[in-house]
Structure 1
Amino acid sequence: MTPPPPSGLSRRRLLGLGGGLGAAGLLGGALSGCTTAADAEPVTSGSVDLSFWTHDDAYVEYFRTAAENAMAAGDAPFRWRLDPTRAGATDIVTKAIAQAIAGGGTPDVAGLEIGAFPRMLRGDLATELLQPLNDAVADVRDDLLTVRTAPFSKDGTLYALDSDAPLVVYYYREPSFGEAGLPDDLGTWEELAEAGAEAHRRHDVCIGAVTVGSELGQVVQSFDMLLMQRGGALFDEDGNLTIDSAEGEAALTFMARGVQEGWIATVADPMGPSMQAALKSGQVIGLWMATWYKIYGLVPNVPEQSGQWRIRPLPAFRDGGSRTSFTGGTGFAAFRGKENTLAAVELIKAGYLTPEEQVRRFLDLGYLPTRRSVYDNEELLRTEDEYCGGQRMFEIYRGIIDEAPVFSLSADKPVLDTVLSGHLLRAYRGDQSPREALRRATEDFHGQTRSSRS
């Protein structure tokens, strides 16, 4: 059963939970005003105007179409109209907390990007602000991928439905692999590393790339993908840091060796100019990245390379792990205690739980289904991708989805990004061994989190 939500929003309680917001000036006038907001009587049917916050306009059009489809089918008690607000992923969480402290103006529906969502895990913040979805998904819970519900859950309560199941795959530029004499079917990272080192010496190409820029979450992301693939994790299900492990050392050793020997490139931003230059010049001809990277990384940066790229499962680590990993995602949540809370939950259900909408989401946006049964959908399995040379990419996704690692988030993820990123860069440069980098990052993390709680 879903635990009952608290009876009201306490301004003092929210101020304490939202301490990560920073200086009071960040909130403007939000700190003045009412102290408690009682739950509103929910609208149960009819026309509703939903305030809809997102960092990506594509979600607005997706949900508008989902609402139209549900209304046309006669499956919806509501006639939804969306009032969208677009903001940065981090700003959405900041502004939502600020509005809650002010006593009103929170969204009805918000897309909470997975890098920003950990702030909702601080104390009881998610419980105070977000409507539990356990009952809403009860009929399909066994079909929902645990790997996508776990990151948006706390203490057994689900607070958001993920937009995607962003598996990490290996992208490779097929003609360039052939020119460099690189096999595209090597089974392990160790085998690909040896072949990649030789190709780098002879052709000055790279078979991977890591991020070393100013966006600290991206720096950690490069490592986290291979850490999870190897069988490790940043945090365990109780929120304890677990990077100082054999799995962490193996992943970082592989990456540091590649950077120092030159067959793994360093870029400031996987979406930005440095990656674009590396792709256009033919320096980077392979990389591990999420399924959404084709849409947001390759197509915008190198449209002229359409037809040349392919995907495959990740090469496995010789000593253990799987053939895939995860990175990214955005969970859509309904804010609780509002007049439109029920209508918001029903919109999220209409958009994200039916098989038909899960199929459309992949075809329209390229986002993978979050229901396991949809991976057997014949239309998706037959779909050919023009950019990837007509490859039936969904066949690859179905073949590895059951190997995807389950992972958990922590409210202290922003602290980890700050301390770990610097030690990763030192390991890449050879200033620290991988083991030393992870040990020192762990010490720094515990020092930071202890001091912030004292």
Structure 2
Amino acid sequence: MLRAGAGLGAAAALTPGLAACAGGQNADPRASGDVELAFWTHDEAYADFFEVSAEIAERASDFRYRLRLSRAGAEDLVTKAIAQAIAGRGTPDVAGFEIGAFPRLLRGVLAEELLTDLSGDLGDAADDLLPSRTAPFSRDGRLYALDSDAPLVVYYYRESEFERLGIPTDLATWEELAEAGTRAHERHGVSLGAVPVGSEAGVNTQGFEMLLLQRGGRFFDEDGALAIESPEAEEVLGFLAEGLRTGFLSSVAGLLHPPMQAALKSGAVLGQWMATWYRIYGLEPNVPEQAGQWRIRPLPAFRSGGVRTSFTGGTGFGVTRGKENTLAGVELVKAAYLTPSEQVRRFRDLGYLPTRRSVYEDPELLAIPDEFCGGQPTFEVYRDLIDEAPSIHLSADKSTLDTVLSGYLLQAYHGDISPREALARTAEDFRGQTRNSRD
């Protein structure tokens, strides 16, 4: 019931009483003293990071912090937050909402009732925060969470194998890389990228969305309306389908799944477009023996237009409003995600890119060699790309789109239907399934 409530009927059922429930009768927030914050996350590494940030928050405020950690899966965390708000107790003070799960809070006025608007707490960071990373967690001029990362999509390639097989590493366009990759597959049986085609709908659509955003398309526009039927979407879907047909691209269950790990280990897949965190969670733990062989570069451009990068992923940290610890929570999130030195530490310790534009000029970050990438100063690549990064706009119906689109993507990849037909059927089914929620 709670999952359904968060998706369809809950907006009407929960308001206007949700805010009072969430905060324990809209308690007066304390302005100083010892606080124990209920801190919810899907990744314990965030808790470790915030423990250090709490020291900065203590110096900048009159609070003294203790964090009480609760860990849950990204989807379960949102479900539990809404359930506890309904119950009127046990809500988090600070919570990290993964970008794939956050859209559930965009139904009706759920975010407005549950979360603090942080837009008035940005100070000198207001004009420095990347708009492309505030957009996913904003609605109607309100900012409900601060993103933990600016996960630029780059092209990872195994340089040693590219050189051995005579594959150029500096091809400017996807079309050129596809031609080289087709020849490499015919001669050596290798692929230069992989496309997710497994049972997880969101994983399948992610691989498509990254290149769609790069090309200038999107799933949803700024108002949350479906924007999937576009020339850009048709072009990208056709490109992926053709790449699978020629062997330039390989099909895998998911980019973090065992078949992909096996393909990387065996050398069957020698490159991949993916977010900056892929090295940490996808490459380094699964092919440690290939350390020093990999490099990153900007994405090849599409000949017909677009940019050289994209985005995927992110986690926004928000503060439950109307609680005794609300002000303390706001000060903690500000210290962790607005302080320039903490933005530097976040990249150094966790590999997450800064969300303040000025930090991309930090000499310490620019000088860091990435040993897994052969000592390459990878931050130089990120600095070169950050101003091209597209914005992601979310919708409360994102999970519905993932389910519908995934099936049609697979049909288009198999050649059963054309890209245009796949997108048209997606739009028709999506509108049919979401008509009641919009009404």
1:165 equivalent in structure 2: 150
| 2:389 counterpart residue number | 404
Tell me how far apart the structure 1 counterparts of residues 2 and 297 of structure 2 sit (CA, whole Å): 47
Q: Secondary structure at the match of 1:79?
A: strand
- Residue identity over aligned pairs, in percent, reads 67
Structure 2 counterpart of 1:255, from 236, 240, 256: 240
For residue 243 of structure 1, report the CA deviation from its aligned partner: 1.1
Cα contact 2:105–2:111 (8 A) shared by 1? yes
Q: Which residue of 2 aligns with 1:49?
A: 36
Q: Is the 8 A contact 2:174 2:302 kept in 1?
A: yes
Q: Classify the secondary structure of the residue corresponding to 1:38.
A: coil
**Structure 1 pair 21/60, CA: closer, same or farther in 2 (3 Å)?**
farther
Deviates more, 1:209-218 or 1:335-344: 209-218
What does 1:118-197 align with in structure 2 at a 5 Å threshold? Answer: 118-197=103-182
Q: Distance in 1 between matches of 2:23 and 2:125?
A: 35
Choose from 413, 416, 420 the match for 2:401.
Answer: 416
Alignment equivalent of 2:100, drawn from 98, 111, 115: 115
Counterparts in 2 of 1:340-351, with a 5 A limit? Answer: 340-351=325-336
1:223 corresponds to 2:215 = no
CA distance in 2, matches of 1:430, 1:295: 34
Return the alpha-carbon distance in structure 1 between the equivalents of residues 383 and 76 of structure 2.
35
Output the amino acid matched with 1:292: W
Note the C-alpha offset of 1:435.
1.0
Partner of 1:20: 7
| Displacement of 1:235 | 0.3
Comparing 210-219 with 83-92, greater Cα deviation is found at: 210-219
Return the match for 1:59 from 25, 46, 55: 46
2:14 aligned partner: none
Counterpart Cα distance in 1 of 2:320 and 2:344: 26
Find the aligned partners of 1:299 and 1:68 in 2 and give their Cα distance.
31
Shift of residue 304, structure 1, vs aligned partner: 0.8
Output the amino acid matched with 2:362.
Answer: N
Cα displacement string for residues 252-298 of structure 1 (whole angstroms, at most 9, x for unaligned residues): 11101011111111111211211110100101100100000000100
In the aligned structure 2, how far is the partner of 1:444 from the partner of 1:283? 36
Partner of residue 365, structure 1: 350
Distance, in Å, in 2 between the alignment partners of 1:333 and 1:206 is 41
Question: What corresponds to 1:304 in structure 2?
Answer: 289
What CA deviation, in whole Å up to 9, does each residue of 1:364-384 have, x standing for no partner? 000000000000000000000
What are the equivalent positions in structure 2 for 1:318-357 lying under 5 Å apart?
318-357=303-342
Classify 1:430/1:268 alpha carbon distance in 2 versus 1 (closer, same or farther; 3 Å): same
Residue 337 of structure 1: how far off its partner (Å)? 0.5
Q: Aligned partners of 1:453, 1:159: CA distance in 2, in Å?
A: 22
Structure 1 residues 54 and 200, CA gap change in structure 2 (3 angstroms): same
CA distance in 1, matches of 2:251, 2:375: 30
Tell me: CA distance 1:164–1:65, structure 2 relative to 1, closer, same or farther (3 Å). same
Secondary structure in structure 2 of the residue aligned to 1:41: coil
How far off its partner does 1:46 sit?
1.2
Output the amino acid matched with 2:363: E
Q: In 2, Cα distance between the equivalents of 1:82 and 1:37?
A: 19
Aligned to 2:15: none
Give a deviation string over 1:303-339, Cα, whole Å, max 9, x none: 1111010000000000000000000000000000000
Q: Which amino acid aligns with 1:413?
A: K
- Offset, 1:77: 1.8
Equivalent in the alignment of 1:10: none
8 Å contact from structure 1 (residues 18, 125) kept in 2: no
The one-character-per-residue Cα deviations of 1:397-449 (angstroms, maximum 9, x if unpaired) are: 00010000112100010110010000000011000111111111111111111
- Aligned-residue offset at 1:81: 0.5
Contact 2:22 2:321 in 1 (8 A): no
CA displacement at 1:451 relative to structure 2: 4.2
Is the counterpart of residue 379 in structure 1 residue 364 in structure 2?
yes
Distance in 2 of aligned mates of 1:159 and 1:63 = 18
The alpha carbon displacement at 1:453 in A equals 4.9
Range 298-307 or range 35-44, more displaced: 35-44
Runs of 4+ in 1 over 6 A off after TM superposition: 14-17
Segments of structure 2 that go 5 or more residues without pairing to the other structure are: 11-17
- 2:23·2:324 contact (CA, 8 Å) conserved in 1? no
Amino acid across the alignment from 1:350: A
Matched residue of 1:59: which SS?
Answer: helix
Deviations 1:349-370 (A, max 9, x none): 0101011000000000000000
Q: Is the 8 A contact 1:310 1:391 kept in 2?
A: yes
Letter in structure 1 aligned against 2:29: P
Instruction: Give a deviation string over 1:67-120, Cα, whole Å, max 9, x none.
Output: 12443xx32321111000010000000000000011111100000000000001
Contact 1:17 / 1:123 at 8 angstroms: preserved in 2?
A: no
The structural deviation recorded for 1:19 is: 4.3
**Contact between 2:23 and 2:321, CA under 8 Å: does it hold in 1?**
no
Instruction: Give yes or no for contact 2:135–2:392 (8 Å, CA) kept in 1.
Output: yes
CA contact (8 A) 1:381 1:394 kept: yes
Q: 1:42–1:445: structure 2 CA closer, same or farther, 3 Å change rule?
A: same
Match of 1:82, SS?
Answer: strand
SS at match of 1:143: coil
Residues 1:343 and 1:190: Cα distance change in structure 2 (over 3 Å): same
* Corresponding residue number in structure 2 for 1:317: 302
Contact 1:17–1:125 (Cα < 8 Å) also in 2: no
Matched residue SS, 1:142:
coil
Compute the displacement of 1:182 (Å): 0.7
In the alignment, the residues of structure 1 paired with residue 188 and residue 229 of structure 2 have an alpha-carbon distance, to the nearest angstrom, of: 36
Structure 1 residue 15, shift from structure 2 partner: 7.8
**1:17 deviation in Å?**
9.2
Q: Which amino acid aligns with 2:349?
A: D
Distance in 2 between the 1:142 and 1:255 partners? 37
